[in-house]
Structure 1
């Protein structure tokens, strides 16, 4: 382990944490991309790193910023989402370790493009009507399960799917959806998926993991501070741009 590796781990955590705090998504998606880009990690290892790094409560400071801004969440909503996430996470991880890295890369690209399409097709009228109404348990369970499958299969925490599912599909207000996504990261729901990756031996050195986790904690707080000053419509545009940029990079990586 070199100083360059530690700096790469810290930078990976900072950038991923900043986008997590700003856009309300779990840092998994950014971690996978930036671990490949900055650390040169192989796809399975990047996904294992992402799942392990999301176990500590690195999003706590970012959640506080959203809470201070007026966003709230009912415990019952978190329970439904969490149950779906746990179930989907195990299913996704079991499938992921049976497919080739190239398949995972293309699956990641398709997943990101689908999320971007959902955000672009989002109806502002429907969102305005439903923003004040909490979704029912079945709908939340479905969103949580979809996020869990994406987490276990792609190693990305499921935050993107949670935000898009709550805001674009269920019509929840953007800031609230982003806060709920961050709150879910406090629950170590990635442990079952991370354990499966651990058993397959696809993890980086512990020093790299520690550097990434420190960067996540600092970056998430900085991103959430900025998010409270950005209008919901602009946050949605930033989220779509972020997703499309990740999809573009992963496409280039997959065709090499």
Structure 2
């Protein structure tokens, strides 16, 4: 591993961590594209790395910061969503590894576009 690669990895981690903590994005939206563009990863490798990095200890402190500052996270919901996320992640990874990289990239990009359009034009305002 070269010094340049280590620097890119640190930048990727800092950027993804900052964006995850500040606006709730990081893994799929930031790490996957940057790993493909700057590290030369395949779509499959980038998605796997993103999943590996965003393990519970990484995000727990950021979530606790929101809760501690009065943003009323309902911790009773967390175990249910987390268990379902684990199961969904397992089956989703089985589907992803069976797709060729070009199709997977297109699906990934389309989902990002759909989410972006929904967030920009159709998001509900819950205060």
| The two structures share one fold, judged by TM-score above 0.5 | yes
Q: Deviations over 1:117-137 (max 9, x none)?
A: 22221233xx3xxxxxxxxxx
Which residue is equivalent to 1:122? Answer: 123
8 Å CA contact retained: 1:12, 1:34:
yes
Q: Return the alpha-carbon distance in structure 1 between the equivalents of residues 61 and 77 of structure 2.
A: 21
What corresponds to 2:31 in structure 1?
31
How do residues 152-163 of structure 1 correspond to structure 2 at under 5 angstroms? Answer: none
The TM-score, its normalising length taken from structure 1, stands at 0.45
Does the CA-based 8 Å contact 2:67-2:73 persist in structure 1? no
- TM normalised by structure 2 equals 0.86
Structure 1 segments of 4 or more deviating over 4 A? none
1:145-191, CA deviations, whole angstroms, 9 ceiling, x for partnerless residues? xxxxxxxxxxxxxxxxxxxxxxxxxxxx4xxxxxxxxxxxxxxxxxx
Unaligned runs of 5+ in 1: 128-172, 174-256
Query: What is the CA–CA distance in structure 2 between the aligned matches of 1:74 and 1:56, rounded to whole Å?
Result: 17
* 2:102 counterpart of 1:102: yes
- 1:1-256 equivalences under 5 Å are 1-25=1-25, 27-55=27-55, 57-119=57-119, 120-124=121-125, 127=126, 173=127
Q: Is the 8 A contact 2:12 2:31 kept in 1?
A: yes
Task: Identify unmatched segments of 5+ residues in structure 2.
Answer: none
In the superposition, relative to structure 1, how do residues 56 and 80 fare at CA in structure 2: closer, same or farther (>3 Å)?
Answer: closer
Q: Distance in 2 between matches of 1:4 and 1:70?
A: 40
Q: How has the CA–CA distance of structure 1 residues 85 and 118 changed in structure 2, closer, same or farther, with 3 Å as cutoff? A: same
Question: What secondary structure, in the 3-state scheme, does the structure 2 residue paired with 1:97 have?
Answer: helix
> Cα distance 1:6–1:91, how it changes in 2: closer, same or farther (>3 A)?
same
SS at match of 1:74: coil
Report how far residue 104 of structure 1 moved: 0.8
Q: Quick check: 1:16–1:30 contact (8 Å CA) kept in 2?
A: yes
Figure out how many residues of one structure are paired with residues of the other and give that number. Answer: 126
Larger RCO, structures 1/2 (Cα 8 Å, 6+ apart): 1
C-alpha distance in structure 2 between counterparts of 1:56 and 1:79, whole Å:
12
- RMSD of the TM alignment (CA)? 1.9
Report the CA distance between 1:2 and its aligned residue.
0.7
